Amino acid sequence: MKQSIWRNKKGQIQGVDFALAMVIFMIMFAEVIVLSLSYIEPKFQNLDDQAFQSQASQISEMFFGSTGYPSHWEYNLTTRFNSFGLREIGSTNLDANKLSRINSKGLYFLDYNNLKGNLSQERNFGFQLHIESIFDVNGIFTLSLPTATIDISTTVENCTVWSFLVGPSGTILYTNRSVTDSTGKLSNTFTLAASPNGFYTLVIFAQSREGCFAVDVQNGVIGPETYMGLKLLVQEQEKNNGLASITTENDGTLVSLRAINLFPYKIGEEKFGNESVTIASPTTNEILSLRLPTNGTCVTLLTGINGASEYTRKYFVFPSQLSNKFGTIFGDDTLPNNVEVFKTEKLVIIRQCIFKAVFYIWPE
């Protein structure tokens, strides 16, 4: 009898053990599932990030490594290109004429949103492109008859500096070639016979001892500022003959249009540091031709005068610098702070000048 009772209790204990084991198994299985899901989700996110970085890298390479198609798309001012790229044909350098088309202050400036659609049809993204000098130069001019003062500062010392002051009619009032001191400073004082109403523009080129260039342009105006719809685009002529093609537009009220190109010159050759042309009674669209240095940098000033003897002025730096300084950054003007931003930074050569290029791209 005792043996029978013992056998029943033993069977009950075995059933409890089995149930307990199943409960433990189910808990462990659930934990494995939870851990697996938490592991898999970041993996999918990581793959998505990798896909975007790969696409961002391809788009960055398109900007810097492709000529675009057709390869001379920069001269086609009326129709869209098939593919985009800023590289110069037959070279690893960037093309200054292509850069002119993405200068937001230039005539026939390429639209940011249209270009985004051209670059990628697969997903939305934003981008921003900077191209600027390795160092900086800044100038201030003060008109106080009968004298005027130009104060210049550079972020590196002992730079060669060229200064031009251009008056309201578009003529050069003063030019000088000097060297900044060990603190990067330079000040020049000169005499002015008169200061009639209109625009006064200070153009400065600075060259470091390593041969890199920086540019500054400062516009000042005496009297009211007049708007005449003046715009311009500066490119080298397509046949690469050392001449600039300056495409202009105005509102039709001009009685005179004057363009002047300014660029660094050798000692004693001030007269070779500029070239100008004047058109009387211009039409609303004019294309002007001026000498262009085959290397280095230059600044074009365009001055319009209307029947009331009022002046307006626009300038164009060639090659275009895409920077905060000139208000010409290409793309979205602010970087997002809630997504990962892909960044490419490199040194680039444009017309035998070295510039710093920074390209940002992010998913939207």
* pLDDT given for residue 139 in this prediction: 97
* pLDDT given for residue 26 in this prediction: 63
Does an H or E element contain 321, and which?
A: none
Q: Is 11 helix (H, G, I), strand (E, B) or coil?
A: helix
* pLDDT given for residue 27 in this prediction: 60
pLDDT tens for the 364 residues of the chain, in order:
444 433 444 455 556 565 566 656 566 655 555 455 455 444 444 546 777 788 888 889 999 999 999 989 999 987 677 889 999 999 999 999 999 999 999 999 998 988 887 776 666 889 999 999 999 999 999 988 788 999 999 999 999 999 999 999 999 999 999 999 999 999 999 998 888 889 999 999 999 999 999 999 999 998 888 899 999 999 999 887 789 999 999 999 999 999 999 999 988 887 778 999 999 999 999 999 999 887 889 999 999 999 888 999 999 999 999 999 999 999 998 899 888 899 999 999 999 999 999 999 998 8
* pLDDT given for residue 206 in this prediction: 97
CATH class of 134-225: mainly beta
Q: Is 308 exposed, middle or buried (0-12, 13-18, 19+ CB in 10 A)?
A: exposed
* pLDDT given for residue 302 in this prediction: 97
* pLDDT given for residue 1 in this prediction: 40
Distances (CA, A) of 317 to 97, 252, 321, 333: 12, 25, 7, 20
* pLDDT given for residue 122 in this prediction: 60
Distances (CA, A) of 178 to 114, 186, 267, 275: 45, 8, 10, 21
- Contacts from 281-287 at CB under 8 Å and sequence distance 24+? 281/255, 281/256, 282/248, 282/250, 282/254, 282/256, 282/257, 283/252, 284/249, 284/250, 284/251, 284/252, 285/247, 285/248, 285/249, 286/248, 286/257, 287/245, 287/246, 287/247, 287/248
* pLDDT given for residue 145 in this prediction: 77
* pLDDT given for residue 272 in this prediction: 78
Residue 356 neighbours by CB under 8 Å, 6+ apart: 130, 131, 132, 133, 134, 345, 346, 347, 348
